[in-house]
Structure 1
Amino acid sequence: MKPTGFFIDLHKALVIPVTVAAMVMFGNFSTVMWLYLGMHGTYSILWLIKGRTYPDRRFAEQVPIWIGGLFVFLPLAGYYAAPILLAWLHPNVPGWAVTLGVSSFTFGIFLHYVADAQKYFTLQVHPGLIETGLFARTRNPNYLGEIMTYMGYAIISWNWFPFVVNFAWIFGFFVRNMIKKDRSMSRHPGFAAYKARTGLLFPRILPVRALGTDRAPTET
């Protein structure tokens, strides 16, 4: 038995070796390839740091090794397609796509890690409900950030397949978890008002005065 987080961390830890191996195997040491390595490699190192400073308790669930390998690590391995295809095919990535990919990655990594930190440390002081910061206009800023981060990698890879992997994860994991989280949070006082003024994923743009004073629930 291993915690679910073990298999996720293993996937992150292998990002740099897999990307470097692809670079060597296909002889691709282009600027865009090094850029990809810096982006995805940095994200993975930050993930491992996050797991030891403000961990997600959901990933503490113990599962059999074969379950974790087959249903956690293997689906996550689909994300290795982006660096492998980029190294293999040597695409001529347009400058505008590089800019768009880096921008998506930067916004994504900010939303993901800042939202997770806000959630973790706020709940240490005031368990149960959060209404400020990144959770004020969207109920899932961390999921939005993770999606934007991986969209950045897909754009940089300049290949259609990483987009397929991303959308498979969005509809197979993220959307399911967001709906499940809403159901769990519905038991909290003030949830109906919070749901009405926030987006499930994308921030709902409203005047600040419309946010009210109800405390909005975060993940449970």
Structure 2
Amino acid sequence: MGSHVAKPKKPSRTYGSNESKEHVDAEVEIVETKPLPSAWVVAFRKRMTEGINCCPSVLGGQFTVRQGINLHKFCILPTYIAILAAYNPAGWYKFEDTYGAAAAVLLVCHTVYGLFWIYKDIHFPDKNWQAKASLFGIIQLVIQLGVIYCLPMWCLVTKKCYCGTFGDGSEIWLVAIALLCFLTGCLTMFLSDIQKFVQLKYNKGQLVDTAMFAYSRNPNYFGEALLYLGFGILSCHWICIIAITAFQVLIFVPNILAKDASLSRYERFEEWKSRTGLFFPNVYGLFRDFFKQGFNRTPSLPWDESKAIIDSDYRPLGKK
């Protein structure tokens, strides 16, 4: 919680001798300041969006974070095809000869993820990505492209990383586990982002603490971490999983801590915090509500009440 400081209601003035100390104290209002994130969190977020302009004016000026990320997603498919072609003289599309099922699934998963990401950015944009891209931000994208995206495919198809392997890419059970992680994470992340966009658009100034956010305060980050874990499993190398985890800690932790500090200004935050996890979902609460509400004759809200909420709060765009 924030600290309490004295804030004068009005500009300071000289009080006469007939005014008591109690009267002077009555002019002072006790207000609660917002808690601030740690200094290193503030510095990290500042370096992400402020800094040297990396794009010459002849190219249209400085890029935004959104443009850098979307370009990043777009380049993944040709980059993967280039890696596959470079290490398979028979042709990049002949997965069964050298790579196994994991390489094909990894290629498809990255393509699907990139398409869904760009679609979400077009129709459900995140205003945080409108910030100008700094030199540090550009370097981050390069590292992410090289480590998070290219390292799993490179380790899988080159067979040159011999430390910490746990498969060769042909194990069906391994591919199944990776697909489960990817699909669950992808669905969780996109549904959370879409819910947050809709609720903040039509219910401004309210805490998003229902549906996907009823058990975790950061389900979008959890979903993204889960789908990246699927990429790491498909690589069949522990070094990829370790690299992905380390990079996510570096990027996610500052954002999660800053978000928690910002949302603590809401009255319902402490109650929401007590029943949710910071990152991982509250599994006990999830299964408790599943067995408690899932087999009732009616949902938690009657249909007529739910329909009234939808009609009043979530009107189509352009309608009043």
TM above 0.5: yes
Moved more, 73-82 or 184-193: 73-82
Contact 2:106-2:153 within 8 A present in 1 as well: yes
Counterpart position of 2:271: 193
Give 1:173 shift: 1.2
Counterpart position of 2:153: 83
Give 1:137 shift: 0.5
Relative to its length, the structure with more helix (as a share) is: 1
Give 1:203 shift: 1.1
**Count of matched residue positions in the alignment of Structure 1 and Structure 2:** 208
Listed one character per residue, the Cα deviations across residues 124-163 of structure 1 (whole Å, up to 9, x for unaligned) are: 1112322221100100111011001010011011012221
Distance 1:167 1:137 in 2: 22
Is 1:177 the counterpart of 2:218? The answer is no
Counterpart position of 2:85: 24
Counterpart position of 1:40: 110
Is 1:69 the counterpart of 2:141? The answer is no
Counterpart position of 2:127: 57
Distance 1:117 1:36 in 2: 25
Is 1:117 the counterpart of 2:194? The answer is yes
Give 1:32 shift: 2.5
Counterpart position of 1:154: 232
Contact 1:3-1:62 within 8 A present in 2 as well: yes
Is 1:12 the counterpart of 2:73? The answer is yes
Listed one character per residue, the Cα deviations across residues 47-105 of structure 1 (whole Å, up to 9, x for unaligned) are: 111111111111100134x3432133333431111112222229244222111100000
- Residue type of the partner of 1:34? A
Contact 1:4-1:62 within 8 A present in 2 as well: yes
RMSD: 1.7
Structure 1 residues 8 and 77, CA gap change in structure 2 (3 angstroms): farther
Moved more, 186-195 or 79-88: 79-88
Distance 2:82 2:145 in 1: 18
- Residue type of the partner of 2:139? L
Distance 1:171 1:63 in 2: 21
Distance 2:65 2:207 in 1: 26
Contact 2:72-2:141 within 8 A present in 1 as well: no
Moved runs in structure 1, 4+ residues, more than 3 A?
Answer: none
Counterpart position of 2:64: 3
- Residue type of the partner of 1:24? A
Report % sequence identity.
27
**Bigger Rg, which one:** 2
- Residue type of the partner of 1:100? I
SS at match of 1:63: coil
Counterpart position of 2:50: none
Listed one character per residue, the Cα deviations across residues 172-192 of structure 1 (whole Å, up to 9, x for unaligned) are: 111221111100101111101
